[in-house]
């Protein structure tokens, strides 16, 4: 009996350690099973002693992808959509969409799936698991002197990609891509990859924890009867209604005019006014802080968030028109 206990004591910890730390197998399994993904991305390009930085949001589904690119000041710049047949580019500054047939004008190298393609077709050069991350190096198929091979670091905790580095033929880093809030195999709407929906930036639509509903179903899912403004500045239209299940089922009304947004959040949360200036116009008492205006409408807290193009007078007209 004592001998059996000693065998179990020695054998079982080894088995547990192996199952917990089998990072390479779990990473490669996640890669092989990837059908869709969504991620926030930071990109730094190093070329001729110049450094360029920008951010984007990436969506991928079954060979189709969408890139929403923001400039260095974090303002919407353009959206690139590949629908499986053609690439389209929407330029927010001129509010126009063009067909893009030149693949060199599309930063597809930043897609996690570009690494997966190289990994599957060319195989890995080497792998290493020292330190906090697990790393895989692969050659770049059809690469050039600037993009010769690449490496991706994966988290050992959840097996998600953390960063990708692309090296030139001399081994210097040409591009560094960092992935944030990466999600394996989310349920993505096909509309994200369609030309007709290219001009709406998804950063304004929180699809992770919000549920999009029709007007008639708002009370059913939130328990709140929403109020809608009778006045809205010219050009703005109600884009969608979502329920934020992480914020006591609050209602989010999103109004868009091109890339400009006005958002109204309605909730039954407590609001004490701390940090806000209390003001009054006519019979309306409201609270203001920057571009936020908050109104307590008989227990319903209405939080109006405007952009820099909307004046204070227009914001007050919106509040005054709530019915």
78: left (phi over 0), alpha (psi -120 to 50) or beta: beta
Contacts of 290 (CB under 8 A, 6+ apart): none
- Tell me what the mean pLDDT of segment 185-198 comes to: 84
How many C-beta atoms lie closer than 10 Å to residue 46's C-beta?
16
Q: Does 194 or 4 have the greater pLDDT score?
A: 194
Q: Please tell me whether residue 188 adopts helix, strand or coil conformation.
A: coil
Q: Does 198 or 295 have the greater pLDDT score?
A: 295
Q: Please tell me whether residue 247 adopts helix, strand or coil conformation.
A: coil
Distance CA 169, CA 201 (A): 36
- Is the pLDDT assigned to residue 6 strictly greater than 80? no
- Tell me what the mean pLDDT of segment 148-161 comes to: 91
User: What domains are defined for the chain?
Assistant: 23-184 (2.50.20.10), 205-320 (3.30.200)
Distance CA 60, CA 252 (A): 26
- Tell me what the mean pLDDT of segment 156-164 comes to: 91
- Is the pLDDT assigned to residue 18 strictly greater than 50? no
Surface-to-core class of residue 146, CB atoms within 10 Å of its CB (0-12 exposed, 13-18 middle, 19+ buried): middle
pLDDT of amino acid 126:
73
Distance CA 292, CA 211 (A): 23
What are the structure tokens assigned to 86, written together? 């053609």
Angstrom distances, CA of residue 87 to CA of 55, 63, 64, 97, 107: 20, 12, 10, 10, 12
Distance CA 287, CA 297 (A): 12
- Is the pLDDT assigned to residue 152 strictly greater than 80? yes
How large a percentage of the chain has pLDDT more than 70? 84
If residue 295 lies in a helix (H) or strand (E), which one and from where to where? strand 292-297
Residue 294 · residue 304 · CB < 8 Å: yes
- Is the pLDDT assigned to residue 151 strictly greater than 80? yes
Terminal alpha carbon distance of the chain = 79
pLDDT of amino acid 312:
93
Distance CA 181, CA 308 (A): 28
Residue 211 confidence class, pLDDT cut points 50, 70, 90: low
- Is the pLDDT assigned to residue 14 strictly greater than 80? no
- Is the pLDDT assigned to residue 159 strictly greater than 50? yes
Q: For the chain, what is the largest distance between any 2 Cα atoms, rounded to a whole number of angstroms?
A: 87
Whether the full predicted model's pTM is greater than 0.75, yes or no, is no
Distance CA 27, CA 290 (A): 45
Chain-wide mean pLDDT for the chain?
82
- Is the pLDDT assigned to residue 58 strictly greater than 50? yes
| Best mean pLDDT range from 38-52, 160-174, 201-215, 221-235 | 160-174
């Amino acid at each position: 009996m004592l001998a059996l206990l000693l065998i179990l004591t020695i054998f079982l910890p080894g088995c547990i350690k192996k199952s917990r730390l089998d990072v390479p197998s779990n990473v490669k399994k996640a890669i092989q099973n990837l059908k869709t993904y969504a991620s926030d991305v930071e990109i730094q390009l190093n070329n001729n002693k110049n450094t360029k930085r920008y951010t984007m949001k990436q969506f991928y589904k079954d060979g189709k992808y969408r890139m929403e690119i923001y400039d260095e000041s974090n303002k919407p710049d353009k959206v690139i959509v590949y629908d499986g047949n053609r690439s389209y580019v929407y330029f927010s500054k001129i509010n126009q969409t063009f067909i893009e047939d030149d693949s060199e004008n599309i930063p597809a190298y930043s897609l996690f799936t570009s690494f997966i393609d190289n990994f599957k077709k060319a195989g890995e050069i080497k792998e290493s698991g020292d330190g906090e991350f697990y790393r895989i190096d692969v050659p770049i198929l059809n690469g050039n002197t600037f993009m010769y091979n690449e490496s991706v670091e994966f988290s050992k905790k959840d097996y998600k990609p953390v960063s990708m580095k692309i090296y030139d033929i001399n081994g210097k880093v040409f591009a560094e891509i960092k992935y944030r809030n990466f999600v394996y195999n989310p349920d993505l709407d096909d509309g994200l990859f369609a030309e007709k929906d290219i001009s709406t930036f998804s950063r304004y639509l929180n699809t992770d924890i919000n549920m999009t509903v029709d007007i008639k179903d708002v009370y059913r899912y939130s328990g709140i009867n929403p109020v809608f403004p009778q006045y809205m500045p010219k050009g703005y239209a109600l884009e969608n209604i979502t329920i934020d299940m992480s914020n006591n089922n609050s209602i989010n009304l999103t109004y868009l005019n091109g890339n400009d947004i006005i958002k109204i959040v309605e909730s039954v949360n407590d609001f004490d006014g701390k940090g806000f200036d209390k003001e009054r116009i006519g019979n309306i008492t409201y609270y203001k802080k920057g571009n936020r205006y908050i109104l307590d409408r008989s227990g319903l807290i209405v939080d109006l968030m405007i952009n820099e193009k909307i004046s204070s007078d227009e914001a007050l007209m919106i509040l005054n028109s709530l019915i």
